[in-house]
Structure 1
Amino acid sequence: MRLSSHSLIAAGLSAGLLLGAAAAGAQTLPPDHPPVPQDRVPQGDAADLPEPREPPTVTLDDLFDRLKKAKRPEAAASVSREIEARWLASGSDTVDLLMIRALTAIKAKDMALAMDLLDAIVTLKPDYVEGWNKRATLHYSRKDLGRSLADIEMTLRLEPRHYGALYGLATVFKDLGQKDKALDAYRKVLALNPQMPNVEKEIKELATEVEGRDL
């Protein structure tokens, strides 16, 4: 099979980044994964992954409890950032670096490269929630609703409380004209993150359309 100029991550990257990571016990890509020209991998400083600030004794359950009880948007946003930092932390130095580079590629609007990097991430670590979630978002930006929906479903299988994925699910259902399903998804978002912007507005508008008409 002929590889595109954007085909990504394995043999080429294994020779550098992944080889060193493997020596430290990190995962490596399967040998049949498409190779990557090293000069196509972004080297920019597009934001290191945010570090969780709360001590490990504060669990995700604790954080979600705080999120539900937050009275002000600023307090909810602070807790949300902590939750999302934990989701982003894959537990693998290799995968974390690939995620930084995928986010760099997205920022640079190199979506084909970002997709190859995210493909590599979910191959390396299929139980990494944020790999699927970020790829779902990228599929959506490319108008590929079917693949976006599949990756959202995988995200929610791994983390049913992922309010970002639920918001994405609602958006996809809305685009597909499935407004009853969109409404249900938005309500799940609100139950998890009551201060999340725009959700109440979306619920109000959809409730009028779905529940306020003769069916």
Structure 2
Amino acid sequence: MVAALAVIVNLALPAAAETEGLDRAFAELADPDYAGWARAQSDIERAWSRSGSAVMDLLLKRGQEALDAGDTGAAIEHLTALTDLAPAFPEGFASRATAYYMAGYYGPAVVDLRRALALEPRHWGALTTLGAILDDMGDAGPALAAYRASFALNPHQQDVKDAIDRLETARAGTAL
């Protein structure tokens, strides 16, 4: 048992997103007029999903599949195993935050989003989830700030643009 645990832990050691060298892709994605933005987004998301460990990547995949199936409990279990074994892998925290959010656990979701953003400040998905949580809680100002930060990184998110427009319209309607 100890030997098996040591193998799993050793496989987890390289688990940090493979995002080095993506500055160009982030710049391309941030340009609203760049025709190749979808490729840049895909390159970044693919890099975010690779921890450097096949075991950790499998835990992420299983967690995301459970999330897609609406099984937030299973998603949280898989993603907790991932974050425990790979504490330097931002996508594990961002994905678990989404699972917590979908389960209605806003506090743990915000904790995980802070960790994901500390590890990868350009994670527009984490910023969007943070905006949604703050928006749900009625905290419009910080929600708008989170959505705007996400949109600055990836201006090709129609749902984020819609949220920004909705919050700005509501804000303008209450100005004196």
Residues 1:104 and 1:191: Cα distance change in structure 2 (over 3 Å):
closer
- What's the TM-score, normalizing by structure 2? 0.85
Structure-2 separation of matches of 1:214 and 1:24: 55
Structure-2 separation of matches of 1:24 and 1:169: 30
Q: Corresponding residue for 2:56?
A: 95
Alpha-carbon contact 2:72-2:102 (below 8 Å) kept: no
Q: Corresponding residue for 1:26?
A: 11
Runs of at least 4 residues off by over 4 Å: none
Among 78, 83, 100, the residue aligned to 1:139: 100
Structure-2 separation of matches of 1:79 and 1:85: 10
Superposition RMSD on alpha carbons, in Å? 2.7
Aligned residues: 172
What is the deviation of 1:25? 4.0
Q: Corresponding residue for 1:83?
A: 44
Counterpart check, 1:190 vs 2:151? yes
Amino acid at match of 2:40: V
Among 71, 87, 92, the residue aligned to 2:33: 71
Structure-2 separation of matches of 1:214 and 1:106: 39
Among 123, 130, 135, the residue aligned to 1:174: 135
1:29-59 CA distance string (max 9 Å, x none): xxxxxxxxxxxxxxxxxxxxxxx9xxx9x82
Structure-1 separation of matches of 2:9 and 2:147: 42
- What's the TM-score, normalizing by structure 1? 0.71
Structure-1 separation of matches of 2:110 and 2:36: 31
Q: Corresponding residue for 1:62?
A: 24
SS of the residue corresponding to residue 36 of structure 2 reads helix
Residues 1:23 and 1:69: Cα distance change in structure 2 (over 3 Å):
closer
Residues 1:163 and 1:21: Cα distance change in structure 2 (over 3 Å):
same
What is the deviation of 1:182? 0.8
Structure-2 separation of matches of 1:76 and 1:85: 14
SS of the residue corresponding to residue 158 of structure 2 reads coil
Structure-1 separation of matches of 2:8 and 2:114: 34
Alpha-carbon contact 1:166-1:189 (below 8 Å) kept: yes
Residues 1:123 and 1:200: Cα distance change in structure 2 (over 3 Å):
same
Kindly report which structure 2 residues correspond to 1:190-209, keeping only aligned pairs within 5 A, or say none: 190-209=151-170
Q: Which structure: greater helix fraction?
A: 2
5+ unaligned residues in a row in structure 1: which ranges?
Answer: 1-10, 29-51
Alpha-carbon contact 1:21-1:27 (below 8 Å) kept: no
1:67-113 CA distance string (max 9 Å, x none): 122526x7322211110111110111211121222233334443322
SS of the residue corresponding to residue 198 of structure 1 reads helix
5+ unaligned residues in a row in structure 2: which ranges?
Answer: none
After superposing the two structures, state which structure 1 stretch, 189-198 or 116-125, moved more.
189-198
Identity %: 35
